[in-house]
Amino acid sequence: MKSFTYERATSPAEAAASVMRVPGAKFIAGGTNLLDLMKLQVETPTHLVDVNGLDLDTIEPTEDGGLRIGALVRNTDLAADLRVRRGYGVLSRALLSGASGQLRNKATTAGNLLQRTRCPYFYDTAQPCNKRQPGSGCSAIGGISRQLSVVGASEACIATHPGDMAVAMRVLDANVETVNDKGDTRRIPIAEFHRLPGGTPQIETSLQPGELITAVTLPKPVAGMHVYRKVRDRASYAFALISIAGIVQRDGTGRIAVGGVAPKPWRDEAAEAELPKGAKIATERLFAGAKPTHDNAYKLKLTERALGAVLSEARA
Amino acid sequence: MYGSEDLELNRRHLMAGASACAVATACPSTAWAAAENKSDPVMSKVSFTVNGMAHEVDIDTRTTLLDAVREHLHLTGAKKGCDHGQCGACTMIVDGRRINSCLTLAVMHHGDAITTIEGLGKPGDLHPMQAAFVKHDGYQCGFCTPGQICSGVAVLDEIKAGIPSHVTVDLTANAVITTDEIRERMSGNICRCGAYSNIIDAMTEVAGRQA
């Protein structure tokens, strides 16, 4: 690990100012992904701004009947919150399907949104990777790509967003609240938060340098069957091959977002309109323009079948 | 014929040899990291309590909580298995919650109350979970055991606190202690000897006693 200086932030705007002031500085919250990457020297921050002391760890009701989730609310606490379990079951389910008990106790809401891909070539500093070292090339294209994107990728990068929570946040139409070093705040719809790689896969979100996430807000609860169906190589503690976050009605209408298939949670409102026609037609629409590799083409069929199971469950 | 003492010595030598092999394999990348890293270490003071005792250490900011406890405080119960949060051998209980101590910096734990396996119980005064692991043979080589026991204690607390899991059928009801619940919640602790079923027996017994 490269050495770094360390400070404890005293306010969100000051934290943002510190990260702006020191070249190569980063925020650290739970740190479970950042430290993992620092040990491998995939991440080499010069300065860490510890935001854990900030007062951003509560879940509060909003005026429009939704919830405001502080950036530092731990995954365990968010999943266990009774308001979340009752009104946003898809979010509890997604969180509980991710990582291990130990990691969920440490991982935060904001950090989870910012976790990096688990593409094996991103982790291997001996291999070219456009995300890790822009311009060096993509080893995954033509390499081992079984886990990687089938849609939304580019010639520069086919990495997937690895998370579960963000997929549920996408189906819930969450908003990400931020503050910058000048104290300016803004709200970013989750649909615009994660970016597709294009020619700049190293830029993964619409956050500006030094901008700090302070909260994630959820609109008021949506009725229907809340489901998070995750398909993975082992029954627990594994990343999704594909996952479906859904809020589905008995008549087969509803909304779905798919994880494990793209560089961001994948949702297409036009495909949702096709849900009553069944999983095959809806999945074809969802994956319009998909460019799977030989190794990961199975994800298209797997998604269709998992969606079929979700729709049958909703109708039962 | 070996006496039990010889066996013990042999087992320890074998383990030491195995560790040396692992270190040798890791050597090229470690040497490279040291050569590349030209910046000086940055030191920082941090204080926390470990097993009820207050400590202040002046350490390199890069030190994980696991390394601080093992190398600076010489409490070597918690183990370094993968050092990447995948095996759970380093599990400690911090402010009442189990975490991977290898994936957190010691400087981030200023003022925290940390419990390691040494703090749960000691020979002659075992924690009920330690006693149940002994009774049910919840280990073979023992390397993962401190993490398993810390995790096991925390898992029963998490169920009691009403925290649901991936296998909890009804999200709005409180989870009950079943084999499925224990298996799911213990998935962050790997045992290469495969003592899983005995670990579940041990945890089930402690849960029954607690109920």
Mutate to test the interface with A, among B153, B156, B163 (most CBs of A within 10 A): B163
Average pLDDT rounded to a whole number, residues B24-29: 37
Average pLDDT rounded to a whole number, residues A261-270: 97
Over residues B110-132, the pLDDT tens digits come to 999 999 999 999 999 999 999 99
B163 to chain A, minimum CA–CA distance in Å? 5
Over residues B39-66, the pLDDT tens digits come to 789 999 999 999 999 999 999 999 999 9
Q: What is the pLDDT of residue B33?
A: 34
Residues of B within 8 A of A100 (CB-CB) are 85, 88, 187-189
Over residues A127-149, the pLDDT tens digits come to 999 999 999 999 999 999 999 99
Contact between B110 and A89 using a beta-carbon 8 Å cutoff: no
ipTM of the complex: 0.97
Q: What is the pLDDT of residue A189?
A: 98
Residues of A within 8 A of B41 (CB-CB) are 3
Residue among B20, B59, B24 nearest B43 (CA): B59
* B174 HSE (CA, 13 A, CB side): 9
Which phi and psi angles does A225 have, rounded to 5°?
A: -80, 120
Residue owning tokens 């139409």: A173
Q: Is the pLDDT of residue B32 over 70?
A: no
Residue of A nearest to B97 (CA): A105
Residue among B184, B125, B133 nearest B158 (CA): B184
Contact between B37 and A3 using a beta-carbon 8 Å cutoff: yes
Over residues B166-207, the pLDDT tens digits come to 999 999 999 899 999 999 999 999 999 999 999 999 999 999
Separation CA A60–CA A185 (nearest Å)? 18
Strand-by-strand arrangement of the A242-248 sheet:
A225-231, A242-248, A254-259
Residue B151 near chain A (CB below 8 Å): yes
Who's near B136: CB < 8 A, 6+ residues apart? B198, B199, B201, B202, B205
Q: Specify which residues B140 forms β-bridges with.
A: none
Q: What is the pLDDT of residue A176?
A: 98
Give the one of A35, A48, A96 whose C-beta lies nearest to B103's C-beta: A35
Residue among B172, B187, B165, B179 nearest B207 (CA): B179
Name residues 48-67 of chain B within 8 A of A (Cβ). 60-62, 64
SS3 A262: coil
Q: Is the pLDDT of residue B12 over 50?
A: no
- Average confidence score pLDDT of chain B: 86
Q: How confident is the model at residue A316 (pLDDT cuts 50, 70, 90)?
A: confident
Q: Is the pLDDT of residue B20 over 90?
A: no
Sign for the pseudo-dihedral over CA of A34, A38, A44, A46: positive
Cα A153 versus chain centre, distance? 16
Contact between A86 and B187 using a beta-carbon 8 Å cutoff: no
Separation CA A303–CA A242 (nearest Å)? 7
Instruction: Please check whether residue A215 is in contact with residue A68, taking contact to mean a CB–CB distance below 8 angstroms.
Output: yes
Residue of A nearest to B183 (CA): A236
Sequence-ordered alpha helix ranges (H) in A88-183: 89-96, 101-106, 109-113, 120-123, 165-171
Instruction: Please check whether residue A35 is in contact with residue B103, taking contact to mean a CB–CB distance below 8 angstroms.
Output: yes
* A2 HSE (CA, 13 A, CB side): 19
Q: How confident is the model at residue A241 (pLDDT cuts 50, 70, 90)?
A: very high
Q: What is the pLDDT of residue B209?
A: 78
Q: What is the pLDDT of residue A43?
A: 98
Residues of B within 8 A of A105 (CB-CB) are 97-99
Q: What is the pLDDT of residue A173?
A: 98
With 0.80 as the threshold, say if the pTM is over it. Answer: yes
Q: Is the pLDDT of residue B15 over 80?
A: no
Residue among B208, B205, B187 nearest B196 (CA): B187
Q: What is the pLDDT of residue B16?
A: 41
Q: Is the pLDDT of residue B22 over 70?
A: no
Instruction: Please check whether residue A91 is in contact with residue A127, taking contact to mean a CB–CB distance below 8 angstroms.
Output: no
Percent of chain A scored above 90 by pLDDT? 99
Residues recorded for chain B: 211
Separation CA A286–CA A306 (nearest Å)? 14
Residues of A within 8 A of B189 (CB-CB) are 100
Q: Is the pLDDT of residue B21 over 60?
A: no
Instruction: Please check whether residue A101 is in contact with residue B189, taking contact to mean a CB–CB distance below 8 angstroms.
Output: no
Q: What is the pLDDT of residue B211?
A: 57
Residue B172 near chain A (CB below 8 Å): yes
Q: What is the pLDDT of residue B206?
A: 97
- Average confidence score pLDDT of chain A: 97
Residues of B within 8 A of A48 (CB-CB) are 61, 105
Who's near A267: CB < 8 A, 6+ residues apart? A170, A171, A191, A255, A256, A257, A258
* The token pair that represents B159 in the structure block: 């169920």
Q: Is the pLDDT of residue A160 over 50?
A: yes
- Dihedral of CA atoms B26, B188, A107, A74 in degrees, nearest 10, equals -160
Q: Is the pLDDT of residue B4 over 50?
A: no
Give the one of B40, B83, B183 whose C-beta lies nearest to A3's C-beta: B40
B15 to chain A, minimum CA–CA distance in Å? 25
Pairing status of strand B43-50 against strand B113-115? parallel
Over residues A266-314, the pLDDT tens digits come to 999 999 999 999 999 999 999 999 999 999 999 999 999 999 999 999 9
